[in-house]
């Protein structure tokens, strides 16, 4: 199974603060362990929400809202995608992450497979999905 | 924490830690079987203590320390009976290690080599293929005997016996705990890759209505492949195998209809292919090619699979390239089955006549006598060429040769279609 590991934002990450050399080294080591264990499929850190944008949908109207966004604890600072054998295994791995500052929270969510969507995913939806993903892959 | 939760935590910790634990112990003891026993003993102690004492902060290090203490006891005991100098040396080495800070990190530099040794030992040629598979899943996957039994649809005592025999064989033949060097390396690595690919295929070829454990075997094999790629990054065929598994696995969910009917490659809904896996597979293939491994057995098979993945629609498939890749594969790993596949690719690229010539050349191949796909492919090509009488008899022959009822039925329908026209 795959699990998306969501690293929530902190005041520090929102301020655009980059981890120091020691923190980077520790995180690098942790990532290396994930790769060595065959767990890591991908992982990225995000720029602060001040660099981001939101698009609100209301009826036919689309409103673009530029960051930063206020509710820091609801924001994400980064994510991993892992392949593990169970949720327990993902939890066991995240406990070992060198995530330092107090109050930091990580959310783990199992990835829904296409099949989980059942009938909602018609062949047309899937075809469209595939061509999009293909274009993403080529980009 | 509730006891049931603690037990699940212990099981999970075990799956993560078992390979490192066994590998580290095996280096000290020079006996993989004994190392595995000690690791299991440490697990039993954890199961006794953690539910009351709580799970330690660094559970891996805790297990290692517990197992090491027992190892030292055993070595002392061994020396009483047999004071070989070697045993003494091991003891000293072991004692020094046991008193080092109890952080698994301290061992990190060596543990990779130990894991590699463990993989090569588990797949040692002194063992039968069944033993290699069981031992690999047990020691490197952290799977329990019941889990292995369920995955391979064999009784638990059978798996237990394979593991016991494997450990005994390794001890009796005094198989050294080492990574093979020089000219031994290539065949030994090939054996390791075969074991991993066999585990993968066991999951991949499982038929419909399968137990959860079967697709999980594919994931397990891919995980082992990735681990091996990290341990032996300079070996192109390791990347070739990882590429092959990831690309094939990307099609896993598209291979069967909701009712369990198999869907052939060209009829599959490609939107259900897993693009993350195929992209990773293509990246691994590139790595194999960069390491001058483009003509490796697994790399070539991966390159063929990659042709399908790169085609957004079945009609976009680059059959000429597939045909030439099969020709290269036939040189590296000559086999009439590869030739038959090449014939199909050639027929797709150049037309049925060209394919038929190649198939006809295989007619006398003894290895293919009784192989239903030969008349099945030949029938298909004859059908496309409008030689319906010949096509019909080929389909009928194929129908009697296959052991699969559903496939036999399909072939009879095709035979009947030759008469209708």
Residue A73 pLDDT > 80, yes or no? no
* CA B226/CA B206 separation, integer angstroms: 22
* Average pLDDT for chain B: 87
Cβ–Cβ contact B87 with A under 8 A: no
Say yes or no: B216 contacts chain A, CB-CB below 8 A: yes
Residues 98-127 of chain A whose Cβ lies under 8 A from any Cβ of chain B: 113-115, 123, 125-127
Does any CB of chain B come closer than 8 Å to the CB of residue A62? no
Alpha-carbon Rg for chain B in angstroms: 26
Give the gap in angstroms from C-alpha B275 to the nearest C-alpha of chain A.
7
Element at A43 (helix H, strand E): strand A40-45
Token code pair at residue B370:
């009784």
Which residue of A30, A35, A80, A85 is the best one to mutate when testing the B interface, meaning the one whose CB has the most B CBs within 10 A? A85
Which residue in A has a C-alpha nearest to residue B6's C-alpha?
Answer: A88
Q: How confident is the model at residue A103 (pLDDT cuts 50, 70, 90)?
A: low
Decide if B222 and A83 are in contact by the 8 Å CB cutoff.
yes
| A126 → closest Cβ in B112, B220, B272 | B272
**Both ends of chain B: CA-CA distance in Å?**
72
CA distance B17 to A27: 20
pLDDT at B82: 55
Domain ranges in chain A? 2-138
When the candidates are 3.10.20.30, 3.30.1050.10, 3.30.70.1060, 1.20.120.420, the CATH number that belongs to A2-138 is: 3.30.70.1060
* pTM for the whole structure: 0.84
Residues 6+ apart with CB under 8 A from B121: B26, B32, B170, B175, B177
Q: Does A133 touch chain B (CB under 8 A)?
A: yes
| Torsion A121-A126-A132-A136 (CA) sign | positive
Q: pLDDT per residue over B305-342, tens digit each?
A: 999 999 989 999 999 999 999 999 999 999 888 999 99
Of the residues A39, A92, A123, the best mutation for testing chain B's interface (the one with the most B CB atoms within 10 Å of its CB) is A92
Contacts of A89 in chain B (CB under 8 A): 12, 15-16
| B207 inside 8 A of chain A by CB | no
Does any CB of chain B come closer than 8 Å to the CB of residue A31? no
Nearest to A88 among B12, B276, B279 (CB): B12
- CA distances (Å), A131 to each of A119, B269, B275, B315, in order? 20, 12, 10, 15
Confidence class for position B298, pLDDT limits 50, 70, 90: very high
Q: Looking at this predicted complex, what is its ipTM? A: 0.75
pLDDT in tens, A6-62: 998 888 888 887 778 888 888 889 998 999 899 999 999 899 999 999 999 999 999
SS3 B12: helix
């Amino acid at each position: 199974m795959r699990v998306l590991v969501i690293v929530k934002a902190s005041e520090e990450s929102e301020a655009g603060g980059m981890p120091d050399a020691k923190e980077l080294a520790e995180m690098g080591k942790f990532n290396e362990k994930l790769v060595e264990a065959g767990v890591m499929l991908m992982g990225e850190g995000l720029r602060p929400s001040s660099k981001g944008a939101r698009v609100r949908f209301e009826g036919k109207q689309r409103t673009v809202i530029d960051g930063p966004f206020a509710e820091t604890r609801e924001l994400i600072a980064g994510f991993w995608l892992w392949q593990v054998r169970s949720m327990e295994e993902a939890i066991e791995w995240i406990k070992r992450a060198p995530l330092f500052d107090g109050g930091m929270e990580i959310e783990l969510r199992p990835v829904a497979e296409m099949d989980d969507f059942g009938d909602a995913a018609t062949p047309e939806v899937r075809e469209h999905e595939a061509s999009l993903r293909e274009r993403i892959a080529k980009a | 924490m509730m006891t049931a939760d603690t037990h699940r935590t212990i099981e999970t910790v075990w799956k993560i830690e078992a390979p490192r634990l066994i590998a580290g112990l095996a280096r000290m003891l020079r006996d993989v079987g004994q190392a595995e026993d000690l690791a299991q003993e440490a697990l039993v102690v954890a199961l006794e203590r953690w539910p009351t004492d709580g799970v330690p902060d660094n559970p891996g290090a805790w297990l290692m320390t517990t197992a090491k203490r027992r190892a030292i006891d055993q070595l002392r005991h061994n020396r009483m009976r047999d004071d070989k100098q070697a045993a003494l040396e091991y003891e000293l080495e072991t004692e020094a290690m046991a008193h080092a800070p109890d952080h698994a990190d301290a061992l990190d530099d060596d543990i990779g080599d130990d894991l590699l040794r463990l993989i090569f030992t588990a797949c040692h040629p002194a063992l039968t293929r069944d033993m290699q598979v069981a031992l690999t899943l047990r020691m490197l996957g952290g799977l329990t005997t019941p889990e292995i039994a369920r995955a391979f649809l064999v009784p638990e005592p059978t798996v237990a016996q394979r593991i016991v025999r494997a450990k005994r064989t390794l001890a009796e033949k005094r198989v050294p705990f080492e990574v093979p060097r020089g000219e031994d390396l290539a065949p030994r690595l090939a054996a390791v890759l075969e074991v991993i690919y066999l585990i993968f295929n066991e999951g991949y070829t499982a038929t419909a209505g399968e137990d959860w454990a079967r697709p999980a075997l594919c994931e397990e094999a891919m995980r082992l492949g990735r681990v091996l790629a990290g341990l032996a990054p300079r070996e192109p065929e390791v990347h070739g195998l990882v590429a092959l598994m990831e690309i094939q696995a990307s099609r896993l969910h598209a291979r069967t209809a909701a009712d369990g009917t198999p869907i052939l490659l060209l009829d599959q809904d490609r939107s259900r292919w897993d693009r993350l896996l195929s992209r990773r597979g293509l990246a691994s293939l590139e790595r194999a090619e960069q390491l001058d491994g483009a003509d490796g057995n697994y790399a070539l098979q991966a390159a063929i699979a990659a042709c399908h993945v790169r085609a957004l629609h079945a009609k976009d498939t680059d059959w000429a390239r597939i045909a030439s890749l099969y020709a290269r594969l036939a040189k590296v790993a000559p086999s009439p089955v590869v030739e038959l596949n090449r014939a199909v690719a050639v027929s797709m690229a150049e037309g049925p006549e060209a394919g038929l010539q190649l198939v006809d050349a295989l007619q006398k191949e003894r290895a293919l006598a009784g192989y239903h796909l030969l008349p099945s492919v030949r029938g298909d090509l004859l059908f496309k060429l409008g030689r319906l009488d010949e096509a019909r008899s080929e389909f009928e022959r194929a129908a009697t040769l296959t052991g699969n009822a559903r496939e036999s039925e399909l072939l009879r329908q095709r035979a009947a279609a030759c008469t209708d026209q």
